[in-house]
Each structure stands twice: as structure tokens, then as C-alpha cells.
């Protein structure tokens, strides 16, 4: 099978003509058109093409006639020219690639280190989370101090029980229903609780891509069935969910280098986005410390031998810092009424007549270390 000469820049008619002239240098126009099936115009244009490429030259014996240049000379020159063109194109490509990388790095550095993002409204926050989640490759950390509802659902007692249910399994479940229910009142897309930071669809997409998802709720959500159902579904999809007595703020950290934080701790509809491993490292350390002290969602969180729960201890620490009931309620994820009840229970256990005295006695006993 003849080697294609089009790689040298020859058209198909010119390639046929060059091969034929190498075999029969003295062939007439009539013979060439007959053998190659070319029209007179094609034959003329092909001769001009070959002459321009240096593959035909005037004959030494008859300057009016054209003689084919042997491949060792003609094609070798074309090959060298083609090689030079490719080398030049390669250099241009590498320069363009380097310029692209530099501009991308500069733009990324500008975005990460000098631009502050402010998000207003739940839709803006969730849209930005979805955008950030699409670029996440390894891990997502979530602090979600969900707030206790102002009116308890009909299936939930109006007051928060003092001890966690004892029928829950002792370990974090490995399986759970994988199908998401349809939307319900008080829920976001696909049955996601309104106070959950990440839509269930986004969580499912992250986990499907192999991204590790760790979510921390406050213990109070154990009495809030919609959040418990949502958390169980996350576990069923491959996520990890734990609870802790109190959380300082709402937060999402992606790949340990981007964090979404509230602009105002008292408002869940505002947020800012922080970029960079350095600034986000402290937030990751905060999460890691809380995670190691937390319990899997389905692990009972009852009273200890002192008659206290983790919520009682957390409240005493919060009040010791001088925070108000409003702040304590936000950190514990409960109502102010529940804060007052927990404070009264702690005072009763400690035999104290005031919150100040309760804090002092708890400190004396080493409970607030």
C-alpha cells in the first residue's frame, strides 16, 4: 500500500502526479491525464503545486520541461520544513499553556486571598454551596446547630425529655433507607429539613463521588424526628453523623481549604465564604476537637452518675462565659425555655440557689474542666 504523501502538504491529485512522474519522467500530458484520470485543469494546478513545494524543477536538458526532484532531496526538504513548523507550533502551544496556567493561578490567588464573598438569603447560600460542592474532591465538614422548633410536632412531646431514648442501637448504623421521601411541611428539597445546611441531593452526589461527609448536630436534634430521619438517610448513603451538647456556630468546610460561615450568628440567612488553607485550618481544628468528643447519632445520651447530661455541662460552661440565655439557646440548638429548664435541673443537682452558685460548685467539683 503506497505511503500517503498528504502529510507533506500535497493534495491528492498532486501526490498522484508526483508518483507517476517519478516512474515515467518523460510522460506527456495526454498520457498523464489518461493514467491518472485528471482533467487538464487539475493537471496544470497539480504541476504548479509540486513546483511550489520544490518537487518539480526545470529539466537541465529542456528548460521548458519539468523534471521530478528525487524524494531524497525533495521530500527530505519538505520533511525538515514540516518538522520546523511542528516544533514552532509546539513551542507556541507550550507558551499558551504556560500563560493559561499563570493567569489561572493569579485569578485563583486573587479569588482566594483578596475577595470576600457575602451571601444574602437561603437560596444564595444553597446555590453557592452547590457550586462549591461540585468542585470538592475529598472531604466536607458540617457544624449544624439546628434550632428547636417553636411548636413541637404532634407526634413529639411538647417538652424535651430529660433522657435520651434507650431503644436506639448502641452504635452508629451502617445502613438506612436510601430513598429520600418527597417534600413535607417544614422541609426543603427532597425532604431535607429546613434547618439542615446541605440539601440531601447534594450530600448524595458528594458521597457518590467518594467525598467524605462528616456532620455534627447538637444533642437536641435527637428529639426532633425530621432531623433524625435526615441524618439516618445520610448515614445510609455513606456519611457520618454525630451529636455534641453545644456548637458555637453554623459552618461548612470543603476540602479543608474553603469555609462557609454566618455573617451574623443570630441569622441563618446570611453567610460569608472564607478561602485558603491557612485561615481555614483553625476552623478544621475546632471541628476535629468537637468530632472526637461527640457521639454517633444513635448512641444514647443519658445522664451520668452525677445525674447530669452533656447538655447540662455545656450550659454551665456557656453561662460561666457570661453568655445570655439567647446565646446559650443558639449554641445548644434548643429554645430559651429549655435553657431555663436545664439550668434549673443543674442547680437542683448541685444544690445551688442561683446560676452563679451552680457554676461555682461545678467548678469546685472539677466538672467544668
Residue 58 β-bridge partners: 66
Mean pLDDT of 143-169: 44
Using one digit for the tens of pLDDT, what is the confidence trace for 260-313? 998 887 777 889 998 888 888 999 999 999 998 888 876 656 677 777 777 787
What's the sign of the alpha-carbon dihedral 259, 139, 283, 107?
negative
- pLDDT reading at 173 higher than 80: no
The strand pair at 56-58 and 251-254 is best described as unpaired
87-106 residues labelled b (16+ CB within 10 A) or e (exposed): eeeeeeeeeeeeeeeeeeee
> What's the pLDDT at 288?
92
Cβ-contact 68, 27 below 8 angstroms? no
Q: Report which of 183, 148, 186 is spatially closest to residue 338, judged by C-alpha positions.
A: 148
Lowest-confidence pick of 39-53, 157-171, 206-220: 157-171
Using one digit for the tens of pLDDT, what is the confidence trace for 121-135? 888 888 899 999 999
Query: Which domains are present in the chain?
Result: 6-69 (1.10.10), 117-296 (3.30.870.10), 310-364 (1.10.10.10)
| pLDDT averaged over every residue in the chain | 76
Amino acid at each position: 500500500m503506497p505511503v500517503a504523501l498528504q502529510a507533506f502538504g500535497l493534495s491528492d491529485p498532486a501526490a498522484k502526479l508526483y508518483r507517476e512522474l517519478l516512474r515515467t519522467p518523460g510522460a506527456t500530458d495526454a498520457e498523464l491525464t489518461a493514467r491518472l484520470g485528471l482533467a487538464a485543469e487539475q493537471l496544470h494546478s497539480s504541476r504548479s503545486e509540486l513546483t511550489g513545494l520544490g518537487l518539480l524543477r526545470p529539466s537541465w536538458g529542456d528548460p521548458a520541461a519539468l523534471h521530478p526532484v528525487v524524494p531524497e532531496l525533495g521530500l527530505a526538504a519538505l520533511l525538515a520544513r514540516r518538522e520546523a513548523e511542528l516544533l514552532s507550533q509546539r513551542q507556541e502551544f507550550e507558551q499558551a499553556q504556560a500563560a493559561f496556567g499563570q493567569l489561572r493561578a493569579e485569578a485563583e490567588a486573587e479569588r482566594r486571598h483578596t475577595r470576600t464573598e457575602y451571601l444574602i438569603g437561603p437560596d444564595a447560600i444553597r446555590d453557592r454551596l452547590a457550586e462549591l460542592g461540585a468542585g470538592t474532591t475529598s472531604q466536607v465538614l458540617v457544624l449544624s446547630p439546628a434550632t428547636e422548633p417553636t411548636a413541637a410536632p404532634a407526634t413529639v412531646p411538647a417538652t424535651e425529655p430529660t433522657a435520651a431514648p434507650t431503644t436506639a442501637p448502641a452504635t452508629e448504623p451502617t445502613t438506612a433507607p436510601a430513598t429520600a421521601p418527597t417534600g413535607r411541611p417544614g422541609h426543603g428539597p427532597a425532604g431535607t429539613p429546613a434547618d439542615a445546611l446541605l440539601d440531601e441531593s447534594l450530600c448524595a452526589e458528594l458521597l457518590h463521588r467518594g467525598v467524605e461527609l462528616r456532620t455534627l448536630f447538637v444533642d437536641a436534634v435527637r428529639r426532633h424526628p425530621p432531623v433524625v430521619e435526615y441524618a439516618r438517610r445520610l448515614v445510609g448513603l455513606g456519611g457520618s453523623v454525630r451529636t455534641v451538647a453545644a456548637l458555637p456556630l453554623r459552618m461548612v468546610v470543603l476540602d479543608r481549604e474553603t469555609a462557609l460561615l454566618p455573617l451574623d450568628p443570630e441569622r441563618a440567612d446570611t453567610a460569608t465564604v472564607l478561602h485558603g488553607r491557612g485561615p481555614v485550618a483553625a476552623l478544621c481544628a475546632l471541628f476535629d476537637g468537637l468530632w472526637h468528643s461527640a457521639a454517633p447519632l444513635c448512641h444514647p445520651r443519658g445522664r451520668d452518675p452525677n445525674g447530669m447530661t452533656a447538655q447540662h455541662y455545656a450550659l454551665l460552661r456557656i453561662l460561666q462565659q457570661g453568655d445570655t440565655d439567647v446565646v446559650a439557646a443558639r449554641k445548644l440548638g434548643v429554645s430559651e425555655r429549655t435553657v431555663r429548664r436545664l439550668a434549673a435541673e443543674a442547680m437542683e443537682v448541685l444544690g445551688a440557689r442561683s446560676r452563679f452558685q451552680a457554676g461555682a460548685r461545678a467548678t469546685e467539683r472539677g466538672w467544668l474542666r
